[in-house]
Amino acid sequence: MNTQDTNRRIRLIMDLRNKGITDMSVLGAMERVPRDAFVPEAVKDQAWDDTALPIGLGQTISQPWVVAKMTQSLMLSDRDQVLEIGTGCGYQTAVLSHLARRIYTIERHKPLAAMAQERFDTLRLRNVTALCADGMKGWPHKLAGETPQFNKIIVTAAARHSPPQELLDQLALGGVMIIPVGQPGDQHLRAYRRKEGNEYSIQNLMPVRFVPLLPDIA
């Protein structure tokens, strides 16, 4: 990394701190992951700006502030198994990989899933398992051998009204799901915490703008 990119990275981390990201482990992960490795060549000069960028197929790499906020809201530990819905370019996945025990990530767009896997291999992220599938159905039971349960779930596309029931069912007791919910133009990032049985506490975190959560494989 050249001096200019190093300075941009430092400025971004300082900006995230100023915007309320206080978890030093999250800031450390954001600093370690080379965001410029996850964006197309045409926008590499903007990789360290605090802005969303296009990655093709109508998808975007999220604004670093949003990535940091969602990650911090998960309250991760190195014992957590995380389910991520919407791998995209793999940037959020890479950040999570430095903070949790294992990441299971699902992407519906085959070209994006393939490119993300190449990046994981290049960066030697050995605790990431990636799959091209319908993320609204959660992690496939046939791969888990039983109903899979995750301490933390993060969804990087917006549900229209509420999280898919299949994802809620895969959230472990006491676990947390971070997901955008709402119609285009009126979306809010929410934290769902599973209580006894099928009861969930819900907390609105902030207004956001995400692509919609869609079924099937594109």
* Chain segment 108-131, per-residue pLDDT in tens: 999 999 999 999 999 999 999 999
Architecture in CATH for domain 3-208:
3-Layer(aba) Sandwich (3.40)
pTM: 0.94
pLDDT score recorded for residue 193:
97
For residues 142-154, give the mean pLDDT.
80
∠ Cα 46 210 204 (to 5°):
115
97 or 146: whose pLDDT is higher? 97
Catalytic residue among 25, 62, 73, 201: 62
77 counts as catalytic: no
pLDDT score recorded for residue 39:
96
Residue 216 binned pLDDT confidence (cut-offs 50, 70, 90): confident
Residue 197 binned pLDDT confidence (cut-offs 50, 70, 90): confident
pLDDT over 70 at 145, yes or no: no
- Determine how β-strand 186-194 pairs with β-strand 171-183: antiparallel
pLDDT over 60 at 46, yes or no: yes
Percentage of the residues of the chain whose pLDDT score is greater than 90:
89
